A and B are shown apart, each in its own frame.
Chain A
Amino acid sequence: MSEIKPLEQFELKRLVEYEAFGGVDISFTNSSLFMVISVLAAAVFLLGGMRKNALVPGRWQSMAELSYEFIASMLKDTVGSGGRQYFPFIFTTFMYILMCNMTGMLPYSFTVTSHIMVTFGIAIFIFVAITIIGFAKHGLGYFGMFLPSGTPWFMIPLLIPIEVVSYLSRPISLSIRLAANMMAGHAILKVLGGFVVMMGAATGWLPIPFIVLLTGFEFLVAFLQAYIFTILVCVYLNDAIHMH
């Protein structure tokens, strides 16, 4: 009986080995391949949908317009009109993470967002960018972020460290949430799939309904995590633009 390895699917494999600058490994891995596929999928989905550009949208065009409207209204609700100029970036983030999660749901594919390194790369970039936006808008007054208005004076020494830590933990919580959700879901699917093999022909069909249910749930999680990631970026952007 073969042993189940639920974490084997997250292994990185070098497809094209390449070293640059004397020893820096920048090989083209299966992760890079699925990043390219996700970007292509997003581009095909949006460009293909808007190809005809009809006044009365067909099914495909209406899907593309729906995704646009969804993010546009979310940005408007959380940030207001001041966030309008950041819409292309927010929309790109959403589509990229959504497509990475969705291509990961295909059998035998690789989930790019299940690696903390990838999600942390996205999150730290957003964190630094939003901090720069905050300082550009408010100057040194942006340090007022760490002191909520109306704090009693004796609470100030206690509250400032808490606010600083909570501000600095933003990229960590953003990245770990996305990566751990995707990784846990795929690992559980693999474990349940292993049950089918282990239980054999007589009772092996028992876990299959659960696998179907969980796969549907995983699609929900894939969408929901992209949504949560984006809405949290919007909330942080709102903090940087309007402070609190």
Chain B
Amino acid sequence: MDAETFKYIGAGLTTLGMLGAGIGVGIVFAAMLNGIARNPSAESKMKGYAFIGAAFAEFMGLLAFVVTALILFA
């Protein structure tokens, strides 16, 4: 196995970063649904915060994508 092979194995391994992002986004929206079920009148306010939280959680997964791009193309 040469260095090129390990490069592609590493690029594939970076997809594991999606694991954490998936769990994080799931927790954010689960908490939002919990909150809405308890207090439906606060839905519009919670939605905005939930999307901000999901955006931050998602960004962590996207950093894994950036690492993939760096490994493959840089």
Contact = CB atoms under 8 A, between A and B. Distances in A.
A77 B52 CA distance: 14
Contact of B62 (A74, A180, A232): A180
A173 B57 CA distance: 11
A224 to B, nearest CB: 7
B55 A232 contact: yes
B38 interface: no
B59 A173 contact: yes
Interface of A is mostly: helix
A181 B63 CA distance: 11
A176 B45 CA distance: 26
A224 B59 CA distance: 14
A74 B48 CA distance: 8
A184 B54 CA distance: 17
Contact of A177 (B44, B45, B62): B62
A228 B48 CA distance: 9
A227 interface: yes
A77 B55 CA distance: 18
A145 interface: no
B52 A176 contact: no
A36 interface: no
Interface centre among B44, B55, B56, B66 (most CB of A within 10 A): B55
Nearest to B44: A77
Contacts of B56: 173
Interface string B39-74: 000001100100110111011001101100000000
Interface size class of A (residues with CB under 8 A): 10 to 19
Nearest to A228: B55
Given A77-B45, A184-B65, A176 B59 contact: yes
A168 B54 CA distance: 20
A228 B51 contact: yes
Nearest to B60: A173
Contacts of A74: 48
B50 to A, nearest CB: 11
B52 A232 contact: yes
A131 interface: no
Given A77-B45, A173-B59, A177-B59, A224 B51 contact: yes
Interface string A110-145: 000000000000000000000000000000000000
Contacts of B66: 176, 180
Interface of B: 44-45, 48, 51-52, 54-56, 58-59, 62-63, 65-66
24 contacts: A77-B44, A77-B45, A77-B48, A78-B48, A173-B56, A173-B59, A176-B63, A176-B66, A177-B55, A177-B59, A177-B62, A180-B66, A181-B58, A181-B62, A224-B51, A228-B51, A228-B52, A228-B54, A228-B55, A231-B48, A231-B51, A231-B52, A232-B52, A232-B55
